[in-house]
């Protein structure tokens, strides 16, 4: 017995037709979203006028000898070559002071603000909110006002009666008065490290936000296991706050390399004007002096600014490359 199996031909399914592109879609998109763009317009104008255009202009003039007005002489890469030839000795001093400032001030600021945040994170302390406000208040003082305040407090004169309050305190304790920023020793730049602690409250706020995001269940589990306070701090608090440590580290390095506060404290921060000028002469100050105190050197100052950008980019890249110690949470 033979069985014939006939296969039925299956008709192909009709192809789905893609919707035709609606005419005037761009016009409709603008009509539906113009309100949001209007709200973003001030930000866009600000970025263009105060960031993107100045950045592009600085790169352009870095290849010229110019004052930005009537002096325009094409230099090519001469401004960049000049850093490592004609000005190599001065650039060496500037970089040495800048890196010394970064190496000392960044860890010091991070540690002090971190410990300060741990102190005020304890809600058991009575009036802890008042302490938080008091520690943060100095950060609200404008930089220029704070500079004038510290300059007056650290004033050194021949007469003990007209000295600043800090020197008067030293004299009252039987100690010699310090010249602070005008000293011939390392205390000129050491004064900056002391002053920077004045603004530790800003870092304290960031640390507090990191502490609040740590799961309290971790501490409860540690308490059940009988972990000590130091053990919980070392195995929970520090690892769980490493993302904020990494963020503050990067921002502190960038800010320290660009630091120009020595302009407010030293007598011009120029080389050859005493030890205060040498020890406080940093890269940001070099760029400022070149741009505003030397005629026709705005192009060279722009080249120095791009050299600073290259240093910041290199250090930031190194920090990201070595950031395996940062704990972002367990992978799913």
Phi and psi, residue 6, nearest 5°:
-95, 125
Both tokens assigned to 274: 């005493």
In a domain, 104, yes or no: yes
CATH label of the domain that carries residue 151: 1.10.3720.10
In a domain, 40, yes or no: no
Mean predicted confidence (pLDDT) in 85-106: 92
pLDDT of residue 32: 84
pLDDT of residue 276: 46
The most confident of the ranges 123-137, 143-157, 296-310 is 296-310
Q: Is the model's pLDDT at 83 over the cut of 90?
A: yes
- Please give the residue range of the domain that contains residue 287: 88-325
pLDDT, one tens digit per residue, over 20-58 is: 555 568 788 888 888 888 899 999 999 999 999 999 999
Q: Is the model's pLDDT at 269 over the cut of 60?
A: no
Q: Which residues contact 188 (CB under 8 A, 6 or more apart)?
A: 180, 181, 182, 266, 275, 276, 279, 280
pLDDT tier, 12 (very low <50, low <70, confident <90, very high otherwise): low
Both tokens assigned to 91: 């650039």
pLDDT tier, 279 (very low <50, low <70, confident <90, very high otherwise): confident
Angle at 241 (CA atoms; ends 239, 242), nearest 5 degrees: 65
pLDDT of residue 24: 65
pLDDT of residue 330: 61
The model's pTM: 0.81
Q: How many domains does the chain have?
A: 1
Q: What is the largest CA-CA distance in the chain?
A: 130
Mean predicted confidence (pLDDT) in 131-135: 88
In a domain, 198, yes or no: yes
Q: Is the model's pLDDT at 7 over the cut of 70?
A: no
Neighbours of 123 (CB within 10 A): 8
pLDDT of residue 14: 53
Q: Is the model's pLDDT at 137 over the cut of 50?
A: yes
Mean predicted confidence (pLDDT) in 318-323: 94
Both tokens assigned to 326: 């940062």
pLDDT of residue 272: 39
In a domain, 2, yes or no: no
Q: Is the model's pLDDT at 154 over the cut of 90?
A: no
Q: Helix, strand or coil for residue 74?
A: strand
Average pLDDT, the chain: 84
Report the percentage of the chain scoring pLDDT > 70: 86
In a domain, 97, yes or no: yes
In a domain, 135, yes or no: yes
Q: Is the model's pLDDT at 223 over the cut of 70?
A: yes
Residue 167 DSSP code: H
In a domain, 182, yes or no: yes
In a domain, 181, yes or no: yes
pLDDT tier, 318 (very low <50, low <70, confident <90, very high otherwise): very high
């Amino acid at each position: 017995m033979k069985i014939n199996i006939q296969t039925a031909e299956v008709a192909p399914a009709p192809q789905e037709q893609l919707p035709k592109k609606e005419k005037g879609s761009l016009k409709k998109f603008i009509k539906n979203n113009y309100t949001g763009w209007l709200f973003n317009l001030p930000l866009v104008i600000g970025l263009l006028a105060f960031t993107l255009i100045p950045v592009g202009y600085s790169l352009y003039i870095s290849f010229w000898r110019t004052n930005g007005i009537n002096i325009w002489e094409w230099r090519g890469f001469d401004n960049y070559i000049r850093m490592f030839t004609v000005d190599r000795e001065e650039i060496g001093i500037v970089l040495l002071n800048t890196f010394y400032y970064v190496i000392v001030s960044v860890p010091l600021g991070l540690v002090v603000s971190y410990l300060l945040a741990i102190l005020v994170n304890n809600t058991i302390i009575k009036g802890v909110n008042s302490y938080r406000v008091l520690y943060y208040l100095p950060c609200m003082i404008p930089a220029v006002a704070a500079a004038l305040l510290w300059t007056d407090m650290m004033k050194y004169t021949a007469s003990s009666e007209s000295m600043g309050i800090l020197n008067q305190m030293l004299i009252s304790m039987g100690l010699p008065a310090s010249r602070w920023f005008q000293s011939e020793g390392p205390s000129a730049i050491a004064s900056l490290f002391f002053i920077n602690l004045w603004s530790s409250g800003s870092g304290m706020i960031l640390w507090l936000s990191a502490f609040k995001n740590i799961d309290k269940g971790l501490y409860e589990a540690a308490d059940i296991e009988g972990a000590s306070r130091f053990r919980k701090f070392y195995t929970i608090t520090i690892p769980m706050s490493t993302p904020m440590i990494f963020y503050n580290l990067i921002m502190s390095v960038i800010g320290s390399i660009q630091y120009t506060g020595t302009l407010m404290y030293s007598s011009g921060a120029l080389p050859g004007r005493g030890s205060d000028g040498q020890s406080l002469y940093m890269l940001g100050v070099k760029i400022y002096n070149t741009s505003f105190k030397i005629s026709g050197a705005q192009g060279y100052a722009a080249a120095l600014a791009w050299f600073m950008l290259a240093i910041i980019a290199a250090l930031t890249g190194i920090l990201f490359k070595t950031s395996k110690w940062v704990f972002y949470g367990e992978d799913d």
